[in-house]
Amino acid sequence: MKKKVFQYINLLLIICLIIMTAVGCGGKDAQSSGGERETITLKIGGGHMVNGMAYTQVAQEFFQAEISKRCAEETNYDVEWIEAYGGTIAKLPEGLTACQNGLLDVLVNSYAFENAKLFLMNMNYYVPFSSTDPTIVTKASRMVMDEYADVYEDLWATYNQKFLALGPTGAYELITNFPVNSLADLKGHKIAAAGANLPWLEGTGAIPVQSNLNEAYTSIQTGVYDGWIMWPDASYRYKLHEVAPYFTAIGFGADAIQGISINLDVWNSLPEEVQAIMEEVAAEYEVKSAEAAKELDVTSLEAMQKEGLTICEMPKEDIEKWAAGLPNIPQVRASEAEGMGFPGIEIWNAYIDAQKQLGHTFARDWIVQ
């Protein structure tokens, strides 16, 4: 008799353990009711080094840290990060596909190297001589993305991702290994850029070369090319002033062509309260990233000057001549977007108008129709 009682008790204990285990591993609904903490681990990264750009630095120091902090304080979930910056999992041209396929959960990357797929995200490149203030171009870009939310949502869904936040560049200018005091000084010199902004050199006599910052220092040092279209913060981080000690402000503009996205399957698997926090932090990141890009351009230029950088000045007339001599890039690219099925003319005009509303005056009045 006693043996049967013990067997019955043991059976009850086993059943209880099974039920408790099931509740403990039951996903977000079980966690909400059970009150036990669960850890969410996300792989985050992209092609740039975490300390190589303002947008990646702010992603690590604020976006990741703030999400972890708020989730710990406000939910039953702890968010931990596995970092894969600097091309650890995916190099710059591979980031979109890596996140699409789940090799990365969260992508922090530049879209300059994904132009065929993310054409609309590189719209900024196709409106040269935009505002040199990263906060203005970011606000203008956000205004456009909000106005055409369905277009952008569908674009990112094509690659199994949800877009979270923009992370702008600083103001694109010239850094070279020779002085540039006039438009004529560029003739015959090889100037590098990421690719989508190479058309800015049309009509100048310069020879455009597609490259990336990871190879910039050595390429200038060995004479592969003579300079870069780059913003001060990135130039300083990659020590370009050591091999290209001349800086010329042209006013190409800052560009919101970097940012953060998340794998759509991962996003849909997250608890609603974590999703809400992530979206709120992403909006804050967008502002902080733009402010950081603006501030770091100023401090980086000052630091490079202290280390021997020479500031050259191109006359305003030459800059206006440069802008006037370019093809109507916004018109060409907006029409190209139309051919892809996007409302390109509307979107390009919306971006140009948004900058004007925010106080920017273009060196050339771009007409898109």
Residues 180-218: tens digit of each pLDDT: 999 999 999 999 998 888 999 999 999 999 998 889 999
**Cα(141)–Cα(16) distance, integer angstroms:** 55
Domain that includes residue 276, residue range? 39-114+134-169+257-296
Q: What share of the chain is helix, strand, coil (3-state, %, to 5)?
A: 55, 15, 30
Residues 94 and 243 in one domain: no
> Using CA atoms, how far apart are residues 291 and 301, in angstroms rounded to an integer?
16
72 neighbors 296 (Cβ within 8 angstroms):
no
Closest residue by Cα to residue 214 from 195, 200, 194: 194
What backbone torsions phi and psi does residue 246 show, to the nearest 5 degrees?
-130, 130
> Which residue, chain included where needed, has tokens 């099925």?
341
* Residues 247 and 287 occupy one common structural domain: no
Q: Are residues 304 and 239 in the same domain?
A: yes
Contact assessment for residue 9 and residue 2, using Cβ atoms and an 8 Å cutoff: no
Whether residue 106 is found in the same domain as residue 251: no
Q: How many whole angstroms separate alpha carbon 250 and alpha carbon 109?
A: 26
21-25, 136-140, 215-219, 247-251 — which is least confidently predicted?
21-25
Nearby residues of 116 by Cβ (< 8 Å), 6 or more positions away: none
Please indicate, yes or no, whether residues 251 and 263 belong to a single structural domain of this protein.
no
Contact 206, 172 (CB under 8 A): no
Name the pTM for this structure: 0.87
54 within some domain: yes
Residue 328's φ and ψ, nearest 5 degrees, are -75, 80
- Does residue 152 belong to any structural domain of this protein? yes
The reply to whether 91 and 141 lie within a common domain is: yes
Q: Residue 30: what pLDDT? A: 32
Q: How far out from the chain centre does Cα 154 lie? A: 19
My answer on whether 218 and 341 are in the same domain is yes
Mean pLDDT (the chain, rounded): 92
Query: Can you give the pLDDT at residue 330?
Result: 98
Q: Which residues pair with 227 in a beta bridge?
A: 176, 191
Q: What is the pLDDT of residues 77-130, one digit of tens each?
A: 999 999 999 999 999 999 999 999 999 999 999 998 899 999 999 999 999 999
> Is the Cβ–Cβ distance between 89 and 101 less than 8 Å?
no
Same domain, 72 and 57: yes
pLDDT at 298 over 50: yes
**Are residues 305 and 322 located together in one domain of the fold?**
yes
Q: Is residue 2 included in any domain, yes or no?
A: no
Which residues, 6 or more positions from 270, have their beta carbon under 8 angstroms from its beta carbon?
28, 40, 278
Q: Do the domain assignments include residue 25?
A: no
| Predicted confidence band of residue 163 (pLDDT cuts 50, 70, 90) | very high
Q: What is the pLDDT of residue 196?
A: 85
DSSP β-bridge partners for residue 84? 45
Residue type (1 letter), 192: A
- Orientation angle between helical segments 134-147 and 272-306, nearest 10 degrees: 150
Detail the DSSP E strand segments found in the chain.
38-45, 77-84, 106-110, 161-166, 171-176, 190-193, 207-210, 227-230, 246-254, 258-263, 310-312
Q: For residues 225 and 90, give the distance between their C-alpha atoms in angstroms, rounded to a whole number.
A: 26
Looking up residue 104, the CATH number of its domain turns out to be 3.40.190.170
Residue 175 sits in the same domain as residue 165: no
Q: Is residue 220 assigned to a domain?
A: yes
308 φ/ψ sector (left φ>0, alpha ψ -120 to 50, else beta): left
Question: Same structural domain for residues 214 and 338?
Answer: yes
- What is the phi/psi pair of residue 93, to 5°? -80, 0
Strands 106-110 and 246-254: unpaired
Total domain count, the chain: 2
Q: Is 81 helix (H, G, I), strand (E, B) or coil?
A: strand
**pLDDT bucket at 316, cuts 50 / 70 / 90:** very high
pLDDT at 266 over 70: yes
Q: Are residues 235 and 153 in the same domain?
A: no
- In contact, 272 and 213? CB cutoff 8 Å: no
Q: Flag whether 209 is in a domain.
A: yes
Q: Is the pLDDT reported for residue 31 higher than 70? A: no
In-domain check, residue 57: yes
What is the distance between the alpha carbons of residues 85 and 107, in angstroms, rounded to a whole number? Answer: 9
Whether 367 is in a domain gets the answer no
- Say which residue the tokens 């690719």 belong to: 195
> How many whole angstroms separate alpha carbon 250 and alpha carbon 200?
11
